[in-house]
Structure 1
Amino acid sequence: MIFRRISRFHFLSLGKTKFMAKRTLILQGKKVRQKIERMVHQIIEEFYKEKQVTIIGIKNKGAQLSKIIKERLEEIDPFKIEYLELKLDKDDSLNHPINLMPKPDTLANKRVILIDDVLNSGRTMIYATRFILDEPVKSLTTLCLVDRIHRRFPIKADIVGLSLSTTIQEHILVDLKDGKEAIYLE
Structure 2
Amino acid sequence: MTATKNTILTHQEIQHKIRRIAYQIYESNVSEKEVILAGIDSNGYLLAQKLKATLDEISDITTVLCKVIIDKKHPLEAVKTSLKEEEYTNKSIVLVDDVLNSGSTLIYGVKHFLNVPLKQFKTVVLVNRNHKKYPVKADFKGISLSTSIKEHVEVILEGDTYEAFLQ
- Report if TM-score (shorter chain) is over 0.5: yes
SS at match of 2:88: coil
Q: Following TM superposition, where does structure 1 have runs of at least 4 consecutive aligned residues deviating by more than 4 angstroms?
A: none
Match of 1:47 in 2: 29
Which shows bigger deviation, 32-41 or 114-123? 32-41
Could you tell me how far apart the structure 1 residues matched to 2:159 and 2:28 are? 27
Letter in 1 for 2:44: G
1:32-181 paired onto structure 2 within 5 Å: 32-94=14-76, 96-181=77-162
Query: Over aligned residue pairs, what C-alpha RMSD do you find?
Result: 1.2
Letter in 2 for 1:88: I
Higher-RCO chain (CA-CA 8 Å, sequence separation at least 6)? 2
Letter in 1 for 2:138: A
Letter in 2 for 1:175: I
Could you tell me how far apart the structure 1 residues matched to 2:43 and 2:85 are? 21
Contact 2:36–2:64 (CA under 8 A) maintained in structure 1: yes
Could you tell me how far apart the structure 1 residues matched to 2:54 and 2:32 are? 17
Paired residues, number: 167
Deviation at 1:104, TM superposition (A): 4.7
Cα 1:32–1:61 change in 2 (3 A) is: same
Cα 1:63–1:35 change in 2 (3 A) is: same
TM-score for both structures, normalised by structure 2: 0.95
Could you tell me how far apart the structure 1 residues matched to 2:158 and 2:80 are? 25
Q: Render the CA deviation track for 1:132-166: whole Å, top value 9, x for unaligned.
A: 11111111100000000100001000000000000
Could you tell me how far apart the structure 2 residues matched to 1:79 and 1:35 are? 20
Cα 1:42–1:48 change in 2 (3 A) is: same
Deviation at 1:109, TM superposition (A): 1.0
Query: Unpaired runs of 5+ in structure 2?
Result: none
TM-score for both structures, normalised by structure 1: 0.86
Contact 2:67–2:81 (CA under 8 A) maintained in structure 1: yes
